[in-house]
Amino acid sequence: MKLAENKATLSFSNGSPSVDLPVYQGTVGPDVIDIRKLYGQTGMFTYDPGFLSTASCQSSITYIDGDKGELLYRGYPIEQLATQCDYLDTCYLLLNGELPKQQERQDFHKLVINHTMVNEQMQFFLRGFRRDAHPMAVLTGLVGALSAFYHDSTDINNPEHRKIAAIRLIAKMPTLVAMAYKYGVGQPYMYPQNDLSYAGNFLRMMFGTPCEEYKVNPVLERALDRIFILHADHEQNASTSTVRLCGSSGTNPFAAIAAGVACLWGPAHGGANEACLNMLEDIQRQGGIAKVGQFMEQVKDKNSGVKLMGFGHRVYKNYDPRATLMQETCNEVLSELGLENDPLFKLAKEVEKIALEDDYFVQRKLYPNVDFYSGIVQRAIGIPVNLFTGVFTLARTVGWIAQLNEMISDPEYKIGRPRQLFAGSATRNVTPVGDR
């Protein structure tokens, strides 16, 4: 860490001695005040629920400038990666810090492809779930269960184990997501076919059947690959922080990633694409475009508890750069499938237009996020709404594992243990039940 020239001084109005705190500079982005010794020096903690002003770690993987609407993976703008690289190149970059050279690329693709199959026993584990279980419930279980199948890559302190676990997770996740889907619809599982691309293979495992040959549509394959790239990592968001915190206890990588899957499920995070599509379908049922105005009034009414899903972001207070790229893909996919006049897509356009012009959203800098469009794309491809977050999970796995491995390799890493401002009862005595 590079020390900044200035330091911070914390003074107190009650005359307690002030304390100097070191300030560190990142490559870009805000400086940070180092408060690690604050408790030792003052007997006080800091208070920051929701981590609004707290850097929880040092990282070199992903950088977001929310005001500029910029997203960088290892320094490369997301726009360049989304148009010039594929998802597995992006995985290599996130894991290793550099884009692969020709031979490295071939070797990495081969390595991932060699691990796409899951232990046959997995399907019997899957059978324990109800057919109508939510795919995220199923995935949380399946990913956690991987640690029971792959004992030889569970030692988080062994760099070789961490490497193999990373490849296994990236390679097997599409197989697991597709198995969760096939189980729900009662169709036979499709084994991976390793001469297809990562995205093409996923499409075939999802929509192919053993009865006929499945032809991968290159437009849909590219769209899915882009969804994967755009969702691959996103700095210290809720699920990534969950993976780091969970992994900080020294638990195995599969268990830590399963914790991330559970966190991502929530509608304020990865569940937003599903919630967004459900919201659009609700408006459609209530009368479609004619009812958008009325729905917006509900969104603006704080007492209604209704949010415009797919809008707003904790970090992007300008535009989500992923949304621009996803919008482009959305147009491509809808045109390829002849769905330009699809009523739900038209409704989404109307919602977006009204929100972008409305003072409520303008003043709060609320813009469409990636999930506003990714749900529409996935629906057009034929992915059921309740599997949208599963697709996000598949894509984000590499980010989680890269962040987890970065943390474990950091000599400064410690088990995560936040403090609290206690507001409950101080010590008191139990009185006999008859006297209460």
Nearer Cβ to ligand CMC (359/412): 359
Strands 70-73 and 23-25: unpaired
Find the angle CA(417)-CA(150)-CA(384) to the nearest 5 degrees.
Answer: 80
Residue found under tokens 């960088």: 72
Question: Which two tokens mark 295?
Answer: 């729905």
268 interacts with ligand CMC by CB under 6 A: yes
Among the options 86, 225, 313, 320, which is catalytic?
Answer: 313
Binding residue for ligand CMC (CB under 6 A) from 299, 326, 333, 387? 299
Q: Is 234 within 8 Å of 64 (Cβ atoms)?
A: yes
CB of 260 to ligand CMC, least distance (A): 12
CB of 29 to ligand CMC, least distance (A): 18
Q: Write each residue from 221 to 240 as x if it is in contact with ligand CMC (CB under 6 A), else as -, in one continuous string.
A: -------------x--x---
Q: Write each residue from 343 to 372 as x if it is in contact with ligand CMC (CB under 6 A), else as -, in one continuous string.
A: ---------------------x-x--xxx-
Nearer Cβ to ligand CMC (366/408): 366
Binding residue for ligand CMC (CB under 6 A) from 176, 308, 347, 404? 308
CB of 396 to ligand CMC, least distance (A): 9
Nearer Cβ to ligand CMC (93/277): 277
Q: Which residue number has the CB closest to ligand CMC?
A: 312
Binding residue for ligand CMC (CB under 6 A) from 269, 325, 381, 386? 269
CB of 231 to ligand CMC, least distance (A): 8
272 interacts with ligand CMC by CB under 6 A: yes
Among the options 225, 371, 410, 435, which is catalytic?
Answer: 371
Q: CA–CA separation, 401 vs 295, rounded Å?
A: 40
400 interacts with ligand CMC by CB under 6 A: no
Nearer Cβ to ligand CMC (214/388): 388
253 interacts with ligand CMC by CB under 6 A: no
Which DSSP string corresponds to 207-253? H-BTTBPPPPPHHHHHHHHHHHHHTS--SS-HHHHHHHHHHTTT--H
Q: What are 206-209's contacts with CB under 8 Å, separation 24+?
A: 206/177, 206/178, 206/181, 206/182, 206/382, 206/383, 207/382
Q: CA–CA separation, 356 vs 323, rounded Å?
A: 14
270 interacts with ligand CMC by CB under 6 A: yes
Q: Is 133 within 8 Å of 184 (Cβ atoms)?
A: yes
Nearer Cβ to ligand CMC (34/79): 79
Burial class (CB in 10 A: 0-12, 13-18, 19+), 250: exposed
Identify the DSSP state of 130: -
317 interacts with ligand CMC by CB under 6 A: no
Task: Report which of 190, 168, 161 is spatially closest to residue 250, judged by C-alpha positions.
Answer: 161
309 interacts with ligand CMC by CB under 6 A: yes
Angle (deg, nearest 10), helices 198-207 and 87-96: 120
- The residues in 15-74 that bind ligand CMC, with binding defined as CB under 6 A, are none
Which DSSP string corresponds to 60-71? SSEEEETTTTEE
408 interacts with ligand CMC by CB under 6 A: no
Identify the DSSP state of 337: T
Tell me, yes or no, if 313 is annotated catalytic: yes
314 interacts with ligand CMC by CB under 6 A: yes
Nearer Cβ to ligand CMC (299/381): 299
Tell me, yes or no, if 152 is annotated catalytic: no
Task: Report which of 388, 81, 357, 333 is spatially closest to residue 230, judged by C-alpha positions.
Answer: 81
Q: Which residues are catalytic?
A: 313, 371
Site of interaction with ligand CMC (CB under 6 A): 234, 237, 268-270, 272, 299, 307-314, 364, 366, 369-371
